Amino acid sequence: MTALMQKDASMLRTLIATLIALPAAAAAQTELTVLHAFASHSPWQEQLAARYAEQNPDVTFEFQVPAETYDEALVSVIRQSLTGDLPDVYLMGSHLLPALVARDLVQPIDDLLDGADLVAEGYSPEMLELAKVDGVLYGLPWAVSTPVTFYNADLVEQAGGDPNAMPTDWDGMIELAGKITALGPDMIGMYWESGTDDWMTQNLLRSKGVPLVTDDGEVAFNTEAGVEAIDLFRRFHEEGGQRPIDQPSARQQMYAGQMGIYFVSTAAVRSFDREIGDRFAWGTAPIPYDDGAGVVSGGQVAVILAEDPETRAAAFDYIRFGTSPEAQALVVENTGYMPVNLGAVPLLTEFYAANPPWETSVSQIAVSSPWFAWPGENGVRISQVVVDNMTALANGQSDSAGTVDQMTSEIEALLP
Amino acid sequence: MALAGAAAGPLSQGATRAHLMQARAGHLLAAPAAGLLLVMLFLPSALVLTLSLTDYAFGMPGFNFIGLDNYRDMLTDARFRTSIANTAVYLAIVTPVSVLLALWLAIVIDAQGWLRGVYQTVFFLPVTATLVAMATAWEVLLHPTFGLVNNLLVLAGGDKVRFLSDPDTALYTLAFIGIWKQVGYNVLLFTAGLSTIPKDLLEAGSIDGADRGWSRFFLVTLPMLGPVTVFVVVITLIRAFSEFETVAVLTRGGPVGSTQMVLFTLYEEAFRYFKVGMAAALAVSFLVFVATVSILHARFLDRRVHYV
Amino acid sequence: MSDAARIRRFGIGDAMLALTALVTVLPFVWMIAISFAPPAEVYTGRLIPPLSLAAGWDNYTRAVEQAPLLLYMANGAIVCAAILVLQVLIAAPAGYALAKLRFGGRPVLFGAVVLALMIPMQVPAIPLYVAIAYAGMLNTYAALIGPFIVSPIAIFLFRQFFLSYPDEVIDAARLDGFGELSIVWRLMIPAAWPAVGAFATLSIIAHWNDLYWPLVVITRSEMMTPPAGLASFRASGDSTGDTSALMAAGVIITAPLVIAFVFVQRHLLRGLTMVAAK
């Protein structure tokens, strides 16, 4: 053989050796595919994974393109179930868990728990409920929040209110918002962010103590109290100065200092902090609610879609890590979510003291009930029903009683 | 082929062999196209027809034949009726405006001299541009509070309009964007059509005294543009009916379903709610519309032939 | 007086034309303008935000960093080129066969083509999706290209064109020993070049800008075509969004076709005129 051919031959040998070794090397590594919603969450989601990977070098992560919303994520997962393309770890909107279970795409995690007592380990029992369907645990709560009241302290003062003593009832809040609207032509007093699902609407009902379903599983807010609660949304617009603009526009308005009060999940507090900076004084306060009423907690639940036992175990180890006190402290600091593991609270005392707006949500845990997940497979449709009806109300296309009727009949048609 | 009925003999034998070779070549050349048409188009379409009679849903176990229930739902369910109504409104606006505006533009541009090429390019730009990008640009322009259009409106003494977030205006805003997109294509077609009008016909018209006012336009230009106009109307109709991107990118059928249009509803039923049976029924209706329009077009052309 | 001159005499013509043209280019101009504005200044209530080259540089860099735009465009180029080449490869011989060759079932095939013209692609899309999904072929080039390679329009177009090609030339070629395929590629296609060009332009425009099908079959970022990728980029980012970078991305994605079109415009018109005449 010529020298050139010899060189080729040895290269070939090296190549073959590498190819043979490759699968063996790959086998030692586990790759976990993760799907979450909201691209804005990517930084901290990926940070958590990176932390874990540092301590567990045999695990690598691949993040699927984040879905736009919780609903879109479920749509994506269902489509992927047709190709065997499912992510291993799916951080889903807790209200859609029944839809996932109805399609048989997720298994309970009892086998992985192996008898561990999660409550004893610090997991909040209320939050664990979010990951259960019919009492069976399918995953772990990953990031939980409640809505809070964001306010522009300067505007509140200008309107004659006291930023340190924000109203605790809706009448007072709406009145204050009305005064802020009167401060200027482009001023918007308040904005209740309806969102892309029914979470905030459930909050509206809950703030007036209106139940969602009866014990028989029928819609229960088709009552006078329910209409009154939904009517709040109309009053926000007619008396409080809210305008039916889309969420990005509303946020811009708030960050620009042209909006007084903004109601949204505490998860947005980091964005507020970053966008507002110190251009004006701002803070958070609890959501107004009646005596005996409260708020609705909601958020993400981590479920494991992988079926192979090795991957399942690795995935479970990861979500245990992500819900541990240290990891949860990281999540809280980077977002505004509440810790699902109460063991994180002592780690956060300093942080909360330095960043009071973060703590408001935590103070609401005691009065929070979990985001109600409509049974059956039509969770995504039901979300859309609520969004559409509330938007119609905001645009003055229907009245509160009509909206409640419409939502009731449409939702009932979609329940099993 | 004039060889039909020829007597047997060496001549016709050679001719038959040539026939056979031709036939074989024809089959071979057309085979890929025929095969692909079957597999990619006709079989799936037949399947869709069948699926439309079921309640099949992705990922759910089992399905049933439910006959025409899907079609009945389509006509009775508020969501679908809204969708069909919206599409009809959209069609009714976009089609005439796109066609007439394009016709007018083609004529005016035709006489522009050196600017002609510039104008033709300008009006065809929206056709080449990626709609996702342009729709987003329009969204920025039409921003309810800070958009340029609203700022100009206020300068002119008007009120700000929440173009895409107000259920009363959203559909018309989409119609405007639809016209914006379609016109250039039609202008191009009309321009091509205009250039095929024989110059002597135009001159003959002027000799006959049909050069006063609009008479030459109506007597000569317009009739000669007849087939082209019909063609333009047909494709504008079909493209307007198929509007998907502006809805998918800008409004997602909202606010409050005011911009739900047939194709987007189909997409949502199939790929968001996974109700494949229903989506199939929508697809079949879509097909019926397009086929009807196409057949009417063909009939019209057929009749024209007799007169020309 | 010509028709146009008559319209112009009213004075409306030129002014209206200019105004319409202005409205038509407005989004293009705005998209480019905003791509040179700092993101915080985009929504401030001023008529025109402050523009600067520095801000532009930032925006374009950010756009390219946050979204694999070049990858999307490469995908678009691969998919469009493959579709076009295959479309012509399959349609031209079929069109020729339908126009010039006699074979059993020819009227049936022609009828099928005409029927196929009336079936919009959204109809077979659902079963095609299911089939592709079960075959594990989602997120592949094959999925993006496959359904489009048989184009009834192309077949129809070629047939119409080839019908008017003189038979004598074909017969002479046959006598010279040309095979049927050679006749297609070396005689017919070159003669119909402008029409091929027109079709190519329309095909590329249609498939480069197609959002529907890629949205259905592609979920992985690295396989997205320009419209799907841009839609994904638009949906990402937090609530305020980075409008400037988004516009910059839009400019990058839209530019190739727009620029290309400016160059081929004349030929496109000629090609379309040839088609219109038939």
A199-243 per-position pLDDT tens digit? 999 999 999 999 998 888 889 999 999 999 999 999 999 999 999
Asked if the C-beta of B143 comes within 8 angstroms of chain A's C-beta atoms, the answer is yes
CB B57 within 8 A of CB B70: no
What's the pLDDT at B203?
Answer: 65
> Which residues in chain B have Cβ-Cβ distances shorter than 8 Å to C146?
40
What's the pLDDT at A136?
Answer: 92
> Which residues in chain A have Cβ-Cβ distances shorter than 8 Å to B254?
387-388, 391
Q: Do A256 and C232 touch (CB under 8 A)?
A: no
| Half-sphere exposure at residue B25, Cβ-oriented, CA atoms within 13 angstroms | 23
Q: Do B117 and C265 touch (CB under 8 A)?
A: yes
Q: Do B145 and A78 touch (CB under 8 A)?
A: no
Asked if the C-beta of C144 comes within 8 angstroms of chain B's C-beta atoms, the answer is no
Residue A176's SS3 state is: helix
Q: Exposed, middle or buried, C147 (CB in 10 Å: 0-12/13-18/19+)?
A: buried
Cβ-based neighbours of B268, under 8 Å, separated by 6 or more = B253
Residues from A in contact with C at Cβ < 8 Å:
39-40, 64-66, 68, 76, 79-80, 82-85, 186, 247-248, 251-252, 255-256, 268, 271, 275
Residue written as token pair 């032939």: B305
Q: Which chains touch B (3 or more CB pairs under 8 A)?
A: A, C
Measure Cα distances from A146 to A169, A199, A328, B71 in Å. Answer: 17, 10, 16, 43
Name the amino acid, one letter, at C117: L
* Distance linking the first and last C-alpha atoms of chain B: 27
CB C87 within 8 A of CB C267: no
Name the amino acid, one letter, at C30: W
Q: How confident is the model at residue B5 (pLDDT cuts 50, 70, 90)?
A: very low
Q: How many C-beta neighbours within 10 Å does residue B30 have?
A: 26
Q: Do B273 and A245 touch (CB under 8 A)?
A: no
What's the pLDDT at A5?
Answer: 56
Asked if the C-beta of C184 comes within 8 angstroms of chain B's C-beta atoms, the answer is yes
Interface of A with B in 83-112 (CB under 8 A): 102-103, 105
Chain C interface, best mutation among B39, B100, B136, B294, by max C CB count within 10 A: B136
Cβ-based neighbours of C209, under 8 Å, separated by 6 or more = B128, B129, B130, B131, C226, C227, C257
CB A106 within 8 A of CB A100: yes
Name the amino acid, one letter, at A246: D
What's the pLDDT at B308?
Answer: 44
Nearest to A397 among B256, B273, B274 (CB): B256
What's the pLDDT at A150?
Answer: 95
> Which residues in chain B have Cβ-Cβ distances shorter than 8 Å to C255?
none
Q: How many residues does chain A have?
A: 416
In DSSP terms, A259 is beta-bridged to A188
Q: What percent of chain A is modeled with pLDDT above 70?
A: 93
Residue B208 has pLDDT above 70, yes or no: no
Residue C206's SS3 state is: helix
pLDDT in tens, A173-189: 999 999 999 998 889 99
> Which residues in chain A have Cβ-Cβ distances shorter than 8 Å to C43?
252, 256
d(CA C129, CA A140): 34
Q: How far is A57 from chain B (nearest CA, A)?
A: 36
pLDDT top residue among A267 and B206:
A267
Chain A interface, best mutation among B165, B169, B269, B275, by max A CB count within 10 A: B165
CB A343 within 8 A of CB A60: no
Q: How many C-beta neighbours within 10 Å does residue B273 have?
A: 20
Interface of B with C in 61-100 (CB under 8 A): none
The tens place of each residue's pLDDT in chain C, 278 residues long, gives 555 555 555 556 778 888 899 999 999 999 999 899 887 777 776 778 888 888 888 889 888 888 888 999 999 999 999 999 999 999 999 988 888 888 888 888 988 988 888 888 888 988 898 888 888 888 899 999 999 999 998 998 888 888 888 888 888 888 888 888 888 888 888 888 878 888 898 899 889 999 999 988 887 788 999 999 888 888 765 334 678 888 899 999 899 888 888 887 777 777 777 666 65
Q: How many C-beta neighbours within 10 Å does residue C204 have?
A: 21
| Half-sphere exposure at residue C20, Cβ-oriented, CA atoms within 13 angstroms | 27
Nearest to B132 among C103, C112, C231 (CB): C231
| Half-sphere exposure at residue B82, Cβ-oriented, CA atoms within 13 angstroms | 15
What's the pLDDT at B170?
Answer: 92
Q: Please give the average per-residue pLDDT across A399-412, as a whole number.
A: 93
Q: Exposed, middle or buried, B3 (CB in 10 Å: 0-12/13-18/19+)?
A: exposed
Q: Do A186 and C45 touch (CB under 8 A)?
A: yes
* DSSP state, residue A277: T
Residue A24 has pLDDT above 50, yes or no: no
What's the pLDDT at A248?
Answer: 80
Interface of B with A in 263-292 (CB under 8 A): 271-274
Asked if the C-beta of A62 comes within 8 angstroms of chain B's C-beta atoms, the answer is no
* DSSP state, residue B103: H
Q: Please give the average per-residue pLDDT across A338-355, as a whole number.
A: 89
Asked if the C-beta of A375 comes within 8 angstroms of chain B's C-beta atoms, the answer is no
Closest CA to B294 of C177, A73, A377, C118: C118
Say whether the ipTM exceeds 0.95. no
Cβ-based neighbours of A196, under 8 Å, separated by 6 or more = A69, A70, A71, A383, A387
Closest CA to C186 of C169, C202, C203, C206: C169
pLDDT in tens, A89-103: 999 999 999 989 988
Asked if the C-beta of B62 comes within 8 angstroms of chain A's C-beta atoms, the answer is no
* DSSP state, residue A304: E
Nearest to B256 among A81, A249, A391 (CB): A391
pLDDT in tens, B82-117: 999 999 999 999 999 999 999 988 888 887 777 888
Closest CA to C252 of C19, C74, C86, C125: C74
Cβ-based neighbours of C164, under 8 Å, separated by 6 or more = C278
Residue A264 has pLDDT above 70, yes or no: yes
What's the pLDDT at C90?
Answer: 92
CB A306 within 8 A of CB A312: yes
CB B283 within 8 A of CB C122: yes
Nearest to C241 among A76, A84, A248 (CB): A248
Residue A334's SS3 state is: helix
Q: Judging by DSSP bridges, how do beta strands A259-265 and A188-192 pair with one another?
A: parallel
d(CA B56, CA A82): 14
* DSSP state, residue A411: H
Q: Which residue of chain C is at minimal alpha-carbon distance from A251? A: C240
d(CA A314, CA A32): 8
Residue A163 has pLDDT above 60, yes or no: yes
Residue C140's SS3 state is: coil
Measure Cα distances from A191 to A235, A245, B129 in Å. Answer: 11, 9, 36
Name the amino acid, one letter, at A42: S
Q: How far is A156 from chain C (nearest CA, A)?
A: 22
Q: Where do the H-state alpha helices sit in A159-242?
A: 170-181, 199-207, 224-238
Q: How far is B132 from chain C (nearest CA, A)?
A: 6
pLDDT top residue among C59 and B224:
C59
CB A12 within 8 A of CB A42: no
d(CA C244, CA C228): 19
Residue A302 has pLDDT above 90, yes or no: yes
> Which residues in chain C have Cβ-Cβ distances shorter than 8 Å to B284?
123
What's the pLDDT at A275?
Answer: 85
pLDDT top residue among A141 and B199:
A141
Here the tokens at position B233 are: 């109307």
Q: A374-406 burial string, b = 16+ CB within 10 Å, else e? A: bbebbbbbbbbbbbbbbbbbbbebbebeebbeb
> Which residues in chain C have Cβ-Cβ distances shorter than 8 Å to A71?
none
Q: Do B273 and A103 touch (CB under 8 A)?
A: no
d(CA A82, CA A104): 13
pTM: 0.81
Q: Which chains touch A (3 or more CB pairs under 8 A)?
A: B, C
Q: Exposed, middle or buried, B264 (CB in 10 Å: 0-12/13-18/19+)?
A: buried
CB B253 within 8 A of CB B259: yes
What's the pLDDT at A175?
Answer: 94
Query: Which helix (H) or strand (E) segment is A15 a member of?
Result: helix A3-28
Q: Please give the average per-residue pLDDT across A334-356, as a whole number.
A: 88
Q: Do C136 and A83 touch (CB under 8 A)?
A: yes
Of the segments A287-301, B139-153, C117-131, which one has the largest average pLDDT value?
A287-301
In DSSP notation, B242-291 reads T--HHIIIIITT-STTTT--HHHHHHHHHHTS--HHHHHHHHHHHHHHHH
Q: Which residue of chain B is at minimal alpha-carbon distance from C210? A: B130
Q: How far is A37 from chain C (nearest CA, A)?
A: 10
Question: Where are the extended beta strands (E) located within A45-204?
Answer: 59-63, 89-93, 132-133, 136-137, 139-145, 147-152, 188-192
Mean of all residue pLDDT scores within chain A? 88
Residue written as token pair 């998919």: C79
Q: Which residue of chain C is at minimal alpha-carbon distance from B119? A: C21
Q: How many C-beta neighbours within 10 Å does residue A25 have?
A: 9
